[in-house]
C-alpha cells in the first residue's frame, strides 16, 4: 500500500540514509556483533551526512528540522537492514527531545554542538536492578552539597552505556518519594566516582552496547541539572511518545523487511516441484501477515503524522508500541517457520531477526505497561 | 512397584544425576564454547542405562519402552541436556521395527551407548522421506552411499547415520553408514547450541537395513519415536521455563507488590502451565501407544497431536518466560533465551505444529474412509 505520510524531502533523505546504512554500517555489523559494540567513530560519520543531529537547531550545528518523520526514516532504514548497532535512534528520538525541550541556553551551547556533530555520544539511564517498569521505585539518589549534587546508585540495561560520553541520569532528590521526588542530571565521562560495569551480553542486538553504570559519590555541578528540580518524572512522561513511536516505527519496518525476504524465499524455494509459497497453508499465512503489516503501517503512519505536528497523545503512542511489537513477534516467529531448517541457521537473516526482535515488547515500556496506560485512559 | 512408582524412581534418578552434572552453568559453558555436545554427561547417562531404555532386553536394553524413555527425555529437556537421545532413540526404533540382521547387529552397540546414531532424511509436508541429494549404489562389495544432507540433527555427536534415500534402481531404502565427526560432517551454527547440527557428506560403504518392502514401516517407526522423544523434551523445556517464570513472578516486586499478583502475569503463567500439563498428558498417551500398537493409525495420530501440542506449549512457555523476566530475560547470562532457543529449534527442525496437525487430520479422514468401506 502506497504510504502517504512522506514528502519529497523525506524521500530524498531516505536515499541518503539507505546509502549510508548499506555502505558504511552493514559491512561492519559482523565485527560489531563480535565486539558487542559499534565503533564510536560511526556517530560522527553519520552526523556528517545528516543521519544524526538533523533535529538540532542550525545555530548549534544541526540540521534545524523539527519533524519526526525524518527520525522515522532513520529508524526504518536501520530496522529494515537489521542494523541495530549504534544507538542512533536513541540519540535522535529519545535524547534530542530532552535536550531541546529542557536544556537552558548555557547547556544548549555546551552540549548541542558536539551532540549534533556526533562527536559526543549520549545515553539515558532510568532502569535500575530493582526497578524497570515502576520508575517511582528508583533508588539512585542525588543530594545537594553546596552548589553541587552528589549522586549515588546503580543503573542497568543502559543503551550506549559503554560508548556514551554523557548520560542523563534519573535520580531521587526527595527522600520522601512521590512523583515530585525525581530530577534529571547529566553525568559526564571522567567524573570521579562514575564507572561502567559490564557490557551486558544479550540474546540478540549483539552490536549494541547495553551496560551497567555505577555512581559512587559522583559530584555533579548544578549546571548539569537538566530541566527543573523535582520535575524529572513529568519530563520523562512528556518524552515518552517519541521513544515509543521510535520503537513502533522500527517494529513495522523490521516486520515488513523480514516478511518481504520470506515471501521471496517462499517463491524461490521449491518442494515437490512447486514453490513452497504456493501451498495453501503457506500462502494464507503470508497473506495474513502481509495484511496485518499493512494495517500496522497505516496506523503507525497516522501516528507519525500526528507526532510531526505534536498532536500525538501518549496513549496513542502506547497503543502503537504494544501492538506493532507484538505483531513483530508473530511475524518473525512465522518467518522462521517458513524458512524451514534454514530459518534456524544463524547465518540466515531471519534467525537473527527472530532474536533481535524479542526485546521490542520489553524495553521502552513493556506490553503489559502499555496496556495499563491504554486501559487507564479508558477509565477502567 | 507400580508403573507410576517405577517412572517416579527413574525420573528421580535422572534428575539427581543432571542436578550434579548438567546445571545451567555447565550447559551455558558448553553452549557458548567449542564443544558440540556433552560427551562426559553422555557417558554418565550411559552408565545408568539411559540410551537403552526403550530397547528390549534381548538386545541388551532396559525393556522400559517408549513410555519411560519419554519420561527420561522430559527430565533431560528440563535441564537442556546437550545429549543426542532423541536421534538415538529414533534410530533404535527403526532397527527394532526392521528386525533385519543388520539391525540386530547394530542394536546392542546403540543400546550400550557405545555408538551414537542420528537420522538423515529428506522432509516433505507429509513427514520424513528420502534425502534429496543422496544415492545408494550396489557394487560388488555391497552398498555405498554418495551425496550430501544439508542439515542433520546430532550429526556432530554421531558415529552412525540412518539414511533414507533412493537407490540407483529408484527404490526407496534405509541404510546405516558410519560417519566421523572429524571428516564429512560440517558443524553448523544453529539457533540452539544444545542440539548440534551438521551438514553431512556421504561417500562410502553402507549396510541396508531394509529394502522397499519394509521401508515405510521402518521409517515411520523412526519418525514416530523422534516426534515422541522431541515432544517429551519440549514438555521438560516448557515446564522448566514456566517454573522459572513463576519463581520470578513471586519474588520480583514492582509498584510495591509481586509482579505475579498482576493478572497480566498470573494469567499468562496459568496459560503456560495449562499448556504444558496438557502436553505432558498427550505425550504420555502417545508414548504408551507407541509401546502398544506402534503401526496403527491411532498411534500415528496420537504422536502427531502430542508433538504439535508440546512444541506449541514449549514455544509459548519459553516466550512467556522471557516476557515475565522483563529486561533480564533478554540478557545472555539469564537462561531464558536458552529455553526459547531449544523450543524454537525443535519446532524448526522436526515438528512444525501446523503440519503435524494436518498429518493427523489426514490420518483421521483416511481411517474414517476405510471404516465406511468395511
Ligand atoms: C537491550 C535493552 C536496552 C535497554 N535500554 C535502556 C536504556 O537505554 N535506558 C533505560 O533506562 N533502560 C533501558 N532498558 C531497560 C528496559 O526499559 C526495562 O527492561 C523495561 O522497562 C522493563 O523493566 P524490568 O526489566 O525491570 O522488568 P520488570 O519491571 O521487573 O517487569 C517484569 C515483568 O513484569 C511485568 N509487570 C511489571 N509491572 C506490571 C504491572 N503493573 N502489571 C502487569 N505486569 C507488570 C512486566 O511487563 C514484565 O513482563 C533496556 C533493556 C534492554 C534489555
**CA A43 to chain CA centroid, nearest Å:** 15
* Cα separation, A373 vs A365, whole angstroms: 10
CA–CA separation, B91 and B86 (whole Å): 9
The SS3 of residue A67 is coil
B/e letters for B21-56, b = 16+ CB within 10 Å, e = fewer, are: bbeeebbbebbeeebbbbeebbebbbebbbbbbbbb
Q: Which of A43-52, A197-206, A267-276, B229-238 has the lowest mean pLDDT?
A: A267-276
pTM of the predicted structure, to 2 decimals: 0.91
**Stretch B216-234: mean pLDDT, rounded?**
97
Give B234-255 pLDDT, tens digit per residue. Answer: 999 999 999 999 999 999 999 9
Q: What pLDDT, on the 0 to 100 scale, is given for residue B351?
A: 65
The finding on whether B269 has its CB within 6 A of some atom of ligand 1 is no
Q: CA A351 → CA B193, B339, B341, distances in Å?
A: 13, 16, 10
Query: Is a pLDDT exceeding 90 seen at residue A240?
Result: no
pLDDT greater than 60 at residue A289: yes
The whole-angstrom distance between B112's CA and the closest CA on chain A is: 31
CATH code at B117-214:
2.40.110.10
In terms of C-beta density within 10 A (0-12 exposed, 13-18 middle, 19 or more buried), how is residue B365 classed? exposed
Phi, psi torsion values for B248, nearest 5 degrees: -65, -40
Question: Nearest CA to A294 among A252, A333, A264, A357?
Answer: A252
- The domain spans of chain A are 8-120, 123-231, 239-377
Nearest to A246 by CA among A97, A70, A98, A72: A72
CA dist., res. B39 & res. B41, Å (int): 5
Of A106, A243, A368, A372, which residue is the catalytic one? A243
Say what the alpha-carbon torsion angle B89, B90, B94, B95 is, to the nearest 10 degrees: -30
Judge contact between A213 and A155, C-beta under 8 A: yes
Q: CATH code for B3-111?
A: 1.10.540.10
CA–CA distance, B306 with A377 (Å, rounded to integer): 43
The residue among B127, B185, B189 whose CA lies nearest residue B358 is B127
Q: Give the pLDDT mean for B305-322.
A: 97
| Predicted pLDDT at B373 | 64
| Whole-number Å distance between alpha carbons of A149 and B35 | 51
Whole-angstrom distance, CA of residue B329 vs CA of residue B337: 7
pLDDT at B190: 87
Band of pLDDT at residue A43, cut at 50, 70 and 90: very high
Judge contact between B122 and B132, C-beta under 8 A.
yes
B322 vs A358: CB contact, 8 Å cut-off? yes
Per-residue pLDDT, A270: 79
Could you tell which of A121, A129, A133, A213 is best to mutate to test the pocket of ligand 1, judged by most ligand atoms within 8 Å of the CB? A133
pLDDT of residue A120: 98
Instruction: Give the helix/strand (H/E) hosting A159.
Output: strand A148-159
The pLDDT > 90 percentage for chain A reads 89
- Per DSSP, A95 falls in state I
Tens digit of each residue's pLDDT (9 = 90 or more) over A265-285? 999 887 767 787 777 888 999
Pick the CATH number of A239-377 from 3.40.50.1360, 1.20.140.10, 3.20.20.60, 1.10.150.130: 1.20.140.10
Mean pLDDT of the region B13-32: 95
Q: In this predicted structure, what is the pLDDT of residue A177?
A: 86
Give the integer Cα–Cα distance in Å for A348 and A353: 9
Check if the beta carbon of residue A79 is closer than 8 Å to that of residue A318: no
**Amino acid A178: pLDDT:** 87
Ligand 1 centre and the CA of A70: distance in Å? 27
Phi then psi dihedrals of residue B119, to 5 deg? -120, 130
Residues with Cβ within 8 Å of residue B254, at least 6 apart in sequence? A131, A132, A133, A134, A137
Q: What is the H or E stretch that residue B223 is in?
A: helix B212-251
Sign of the Cα torsion A362, A351, B122, B343 reads negative
Q: Is A195's pLDDT higher than 70?
A: yes
The pLDDT assigned to B241 comes to 98
Angle at B181 between CA B179 and CA B182, to 5 degrees: 115
The confidence band for B1, taking pLDDT boundaries of 50, 70 and 90, is confident
**DSSP labels for B267-309?**
HHHHHHHHHHHHHHHHHHHHHHHHHH-TTSHHHHHHHHHHHHH
Residue range B10-26: average pLDDT? 95
pLDDT confidence of residue B374: 56
Q: Taking the C-alpha atoms of B45, B47, B53 and B57 in order, what is their torsion angle to the nearest 10 degrees?
A: 170
Question: Stretch A126-150: mean pLDDT, rounded?
Answer: 96
Q: How far apart are CA A210 and CA B273, in angstroms?
A: 32
How many angstroms separate the CA of residue B104 from the nearest CA in chain A? 32
Q: Is B150 on the interface with A (CB under 8 A)?
A: yes
Q: What is the mean pLDDT of residues A80-106?
A: 95
Calculate the alpha carbon distances from A249 to A25, A81, A243, A244, A300 in Å: 20, 14, 10, 9, 7
Helix H segments across B48-121? 65-78, 85-98, 101-111
**Do A169 and A122 touch, CB atoms closer than 8 A?**
no
Task: Please name the residues in contact with A22: beta carbons below 8 A apart, sequence gap of 6 or more.
Answer: A81
Chain A residues with CB-CB distance to B352 below 8 A: 337
pLDDT exceeds 90 at position A107: yes
Domain A123-231: which CATH number of 1.20.950.20, 3.40.20.10, 2.40.110.10, 3.40.47.10: 2.40.110.10
Q: How far apart are CA A139 and CA A44, in angstroms?
A: 34
| Phi, psi for A60 (deg, rounded to 5) | -105, 15
A336 contacts B344? CB cut-off 8 A? yes
Set of chain A residues whose Cβ sits within 8 Å of the Cβ of B359? none
Integer Cα distance of B269 and B263 in angstroms:
9
> Is the pLDDT confidence value at A65 over 60?
yes
Angle at B169 between CA B158 and CA B214, to 5 degrees: 60
pLDDT for res B210: 93
- What single-letter DSSP state applies at residue A258? H
d(CA B153, CA B150): 10
Residue A184 confidence (pLDDT): 98
Ligand 1 atom nearest to CA at A366? 47
Q: Report the half-sphere exposure of A37 (CA within 13 A, side-chain side).
A: 16
Q: What is the mean pLDDT of residues B69-95?
A: 97
Residue A243 among the catalytic residues? yes
Residues B61 and B45: their CA atoms lie apart, in Å, by 14
Any idea of the CA torsion for B148, B153, B155, B158, to the nearest 10 degrees?
Answer: -140
Q: Is A363 in the pocket of ligand 1 (CB under 6 A)?
A: yes
- Considering all CA atoms of chain A, what is the largest pairwise distance in Å, rounded to the nearest integer? 79
Beta bridge partners of B128: B123
Q: Is the minimum distance from the CB of A360 to ligand 1 under 6 angstroms?
A: no
Q: Which helix (H) or strand (E) is B91 found in, with range?
A: helix B85-98
Nearest by CB to B254, from A131, A202, A271: name it.
A131
> B251 touching A, CB under 8 A?
no
Cα A292 to Cα A308: distance, rounded to the nearest angstrom: 24
- Alpha carbon distance, N-terminus to C-terminus of chain A: 36
Q: B98: burial class by Cβ within 10 Å (0-12, 13-18, 19+)?
A: buried
> What Cα–Cα distance (Å) separates residue B291 from each residue in B55, B64, B108, B216?
11, 9, 19, 18
Please report how many Cα atoms fall inside a 13 Å half-sphere around the Cα of residue A4, on the Cβ side: 3
The band of A313, judged by pLDDT with boundaries at 50, 70 and 90, is: very high
Q: Is the pLDDT of residue A48 over 70?
A: yes
CB nearest to A137's CB, from B254, B329, B340: B254
Do residues A37 and A211 lie in contact, with contact meaning Cβ atoms separated by under 8 Å? no
Element (H, E) at A32: helix A29-35
Overall fold of domain A8-120: Butyryl-Coa Dehydrogenase, subunit A; domain 1 (1.10.540)
Show which of residues 293-352 on chain B sit within 8 Å of chain A, judged by CB atoms.
Answer: 315, 319, 322-323, 326-327, 329-333, 336-337, 340, 344-345, 347-349, 352
* CATH architecture type of domain B216-373: Up-down Bundle (1.20)
Do residue B189 and residue A354 have CB atoms under 8 angstroms apart?
A: no
Q: For A97-102, what is the mean pLDDT?
A: 96
Residue B139 near ligand 1, beta carbon < 6 Å:
no
Query: For chain B, what are the domain ranges?
Result: 3-111, 117-214, 216-373
Given an 8 Å threshold on Cβ–Cβ distance, is A345 in contact with B188? yes
Q: Does the model's ipTM exceed the 0.95 cut?
A: no
Asked if B195 and B82 touch (Cβ cutoff 8 Å), the reply is yes
Give the mean pLDDT of A31-60.
Answer: 97
The answer to whether the CB of A263 falls within 8 A of the CB of A276 is: no
Asked if A86 and A160 touch (Cβ cutoff 8 Å), the reply is yes
Q: Residues of A with CB below 8 A from B256's CB?
A: 134
Decide if A344 and B358 are in contact by the 8 Å CB cutoff: no
Which pLDDT belongs to residue B350?
A: 66
Amino acid at each position: 500500500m502506497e504510504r502517504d505520510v512522506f514528502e519529497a524531502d523525506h524521500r530524498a533523505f531516505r536515499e541518503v540514509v539507505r546509502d549510508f546504512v548499506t555502505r558504511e554500517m552493514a559491512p561492519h555489523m559482523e565485527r560489531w556483533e563480535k565486539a558487542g559494540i559499534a565503533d564510536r567513530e560511526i556517530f560522527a560519520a553519520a552526523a556528517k551526512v545528516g543521519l544524526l543531529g538533523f533535529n538540532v537547531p542550525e545555530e548549534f550545528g544541526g540540521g534545524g528540522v523539527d519533524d519526526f518523520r525524518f527520525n522515522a526514516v532513520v529508524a526504518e532504514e536501520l530496522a529494515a537492514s537489521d542494523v541495530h548497532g549504534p544507538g542512533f535512534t536513541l540519540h535522535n528520538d529519545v535524547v534530542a527531545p530532552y535536550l531541546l525541550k529542557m536544556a537552558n541556553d548555557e547547556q544548549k551551547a555546551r552540549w548541542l554542538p558536539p551532540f549534533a556533530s556526533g562527536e559526543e555520544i549520549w545515553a539515558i539511564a532510568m532502569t535500575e536492578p530493582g526497578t524497570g517498569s515502576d520508575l517511582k521505585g528508583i533508588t539512585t539518589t542525588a543530594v545537594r552539597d553546596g552548589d553541587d549534587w552528589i549522586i549515588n546508585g546503580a543503573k542497568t540495561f543502559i543503551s550506549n552505556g559503554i560508548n556514551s560520553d554523557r548520560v542523563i541520569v534519573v535520580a531521587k532528590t526527595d527522600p520522601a518519594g512521590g512523583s515530585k521526588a525525581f530530577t534529571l542530571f547529566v553525568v559526564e565521562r571522567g567524573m570521579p566516582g562514575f564507572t561502567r560495569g559490564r557490557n551486558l551480553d544479550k540474546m540478540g542486538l549483539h552490536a549494541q552496547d547495553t551496560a551497567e553504570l555505577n555512581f559512587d559519590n559522583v559530584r555533579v555541578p548544578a549546571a548539569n541539572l537538566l530541566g527543573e528540580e523535582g520535575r524529572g518524572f513529568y519530563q520523562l512522561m512528556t518524552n515518552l511518545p517519541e521513544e515509543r513511536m521510535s520503537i513502533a516505527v522500527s517494529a513495522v519496518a523490521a516486520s515488513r523487511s523480514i516478511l518481504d525476504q520470506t515471501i521471496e524465499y517462499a517463491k524461490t524455494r521449491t518442494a515437490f516441484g512447486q514453490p513452497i509459497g504456493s501451498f495453501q497453508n503457506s500462502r494464507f499465512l503470508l497473506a495474513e501477515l502481509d495484511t496485518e503489516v499493512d494495517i500496522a503501517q497505516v496506523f503507525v503512519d497516522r501516528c507519525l503524522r500526528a507526532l510531526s505536528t505534536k498532536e500525538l497523545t501518549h496513549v496513542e503512542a502506547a497503543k502503537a508500541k504494544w501492538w506493532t511489537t507484538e505483531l513483530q513477534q508473530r511475524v518473525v516467529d512465522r518467518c522462521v517457520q517458513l524458512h524451514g531448517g534454514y530459518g534456524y541457521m544463524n547465518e540466515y537473516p531471519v534467525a537473527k531477526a527472530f532474536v533481535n526482535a524479542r526485546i521490542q515488547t520489553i524495553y521502552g515500556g513493556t506490553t503489559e505497561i502499555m496496556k495499563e496506560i491504554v486501559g487507564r485512559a479508558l477509565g477502567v | 512397584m507400580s508403573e507410576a512408582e517405577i517412572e517416579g524412581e527413574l525420573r528421580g534418578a535422572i534428575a539427581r544425576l543432571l542436578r550434579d552434572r548438567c546445571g545451567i552453568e555447565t550447559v551455558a559453558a558448553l553452549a557458548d564454547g567449542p564443544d558440540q555436545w556433552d560427551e562426559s554427561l553422555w557417558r554418565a547417562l550411559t552408565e545408568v542405562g539411559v540410551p537403552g531404555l526403550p530397547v528390549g532386553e534381548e538386545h541388551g536394553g532396559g525393556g522400559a519402552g517408549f513410555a519411560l524413555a519419554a519420561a527420561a527425555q522430559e527430565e533431560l529437556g528440563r535441564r537442556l541436556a546437550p545429549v543426542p537421545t532423541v536421534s538415538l532413540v529414533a534410530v533404535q526404533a527403526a532397527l527394532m521395527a526392521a528386525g533385519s540382521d543388520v539391525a540386530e547387529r547394530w542394536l546392542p552397540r546403540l543400546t550400550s551407548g557405545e555408538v551414537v546414531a542420528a537420522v538423515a532424511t529428506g522432509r516433505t509436508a507429509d513427514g520424513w522421506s528420502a534425502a534429496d541429494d543422496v544415492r545408494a549404489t550396489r557394487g560388488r562389495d555391497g552398498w555405498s552411499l554418495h551425496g550430501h544432507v544439508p542439515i542433520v540433527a546430532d550429526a556432530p555427536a554421531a558415529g552412525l547415520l540412518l539414511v533414507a534415500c533412493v537407490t540407483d534402481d529408484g527404490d526407496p531404502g534405509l541404510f546405516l553408514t558410519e560417519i566421523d565427526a572429524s571428516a564429512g560432517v560440517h558443524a553448523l551454527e544453529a539457533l540452539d547450541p544444545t542440539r548440534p547440527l551438521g551438514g553431512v557428506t556421504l561417500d562410502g560403504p553402507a549396510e541396508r537395513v531394509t529394502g522397499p518392502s519394509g521401508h515405510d514401516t521402518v521409517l515411520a517407526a523412526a519418525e514416530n519415536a523422534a516426534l515422541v522423544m522431541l515432544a517429551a523434551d519440549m514438555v521438560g523445556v516448557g515446564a522448566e521455563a514456566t517454573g522459572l517464570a513463576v519463581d520470578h513472578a513471586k519474588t520480583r516486586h514492582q509498584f510495591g507488590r509481586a509482579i505475579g499478583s498482576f493478572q497480566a502475569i498470573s494469567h499468562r503463567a496459568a496459560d503456560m502451565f495449562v499448556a504444558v500439563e496438557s502436553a505432558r498428558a498427550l505425550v504420555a498417551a502417545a508414548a504408551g501407544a507407541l509401546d502398544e500398537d506402534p503401526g496403527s493409525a491411532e498411534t500415528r495420530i496420537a504422536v502427531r497431536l502430542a508433538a504439535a501440542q508440546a512444541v506449541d506449549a514449549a514455544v509459548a512457555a519459553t516466550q512467556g518466560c522471557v516476557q515475565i523476566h522483563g529486561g533480564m530475560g533478554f540478557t545472555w547470562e539469564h537462561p531464558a533465551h536458552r529455553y526459547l532457543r531449544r523450543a524454537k529449534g525443535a519446532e524448526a527442525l522436526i515438528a512444525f505444529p501446523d503440519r503435524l496437525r494436518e498429518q493427523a487430520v489426514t490420518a483421521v479422514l483416511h481411517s474414517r474412509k476405510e471404516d465406511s468401506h468395511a
